[in-house]
Amino acid sequence: MSSETAGPSESLSAQIEAAERKLKAAADVASAAERRATAEIEALEADLERERASAEQTRQQLQLAHEEELQREREAKERAIAAAEERLVEIEAQAEAAEQRVEEAERRSEKAEREVADEKARAREAAAAWLREQLDSIRREAEGR
């Protein structure tokens, strides 16, 4: 009986030992899997952080390029406005000079018209004086006859 009793107990111990070995092996495998999973997660997190940093750097570069382009456009608009204002000043000066020339031409025209009118008046007076002299001469001749 004792051999029968010892047999199952040894068999149970052997089974327990085998189960413990399997459990230890499974725990080792699980531990190794956990370490691999942890390492893979850490690698993925590092990759994610590098991608975030790269994306942030790209965003900053794009933002800087956009700001520089806006600044160039603002400067170009300011130059265009300044050139237009300068041209407007030139045009206004030319318009003012043209108005002065027109006013001067009108004054000369008025003076010339006055001179022509004066000359016509003198010519009429001279013609009237000549006609009076002719009439006087004709009267004298007529009286002398």
- The gap between the terminal CA atoms of the chain, to the nearest Å, is 207
**Residue for token digits 């008046």?**
121
The per-residue pLDDT for 140 is: 87
- DSSP annotation string for 3-26: HHHHHHHHHHHHHHHHHHHHHHHH
Q: How many domains does the chain have?
A: 1
124 in any annotated domain? no
89 in any annotated domain? yes
Range of the domain at 30: 1-106
- pLDDT truncated to tens, each residue of the chain (145 aa)? 444 455 678 888 989 999 999 999 999 999 999 999 999 999 999 999 999 999 999 999 999 999 999 999 999 999 999 999 999 999 999 999 999 999 999 999 999 999 999 999 999 999 999 999 998 899 888 887 7
Query: Is-above-0.75 flag for pTM?
Result: no
127 in any annotated domain? no
142 in any annotated domain? no
- Separation between Cα atoms, residue 126 and residue 130, nearest integer Å: 6
- Separation between Cα atoms, residue 31 and residue 39, nearest integer Å: 12
115 in any annotated domain? no
73 in any annotated domain? yes
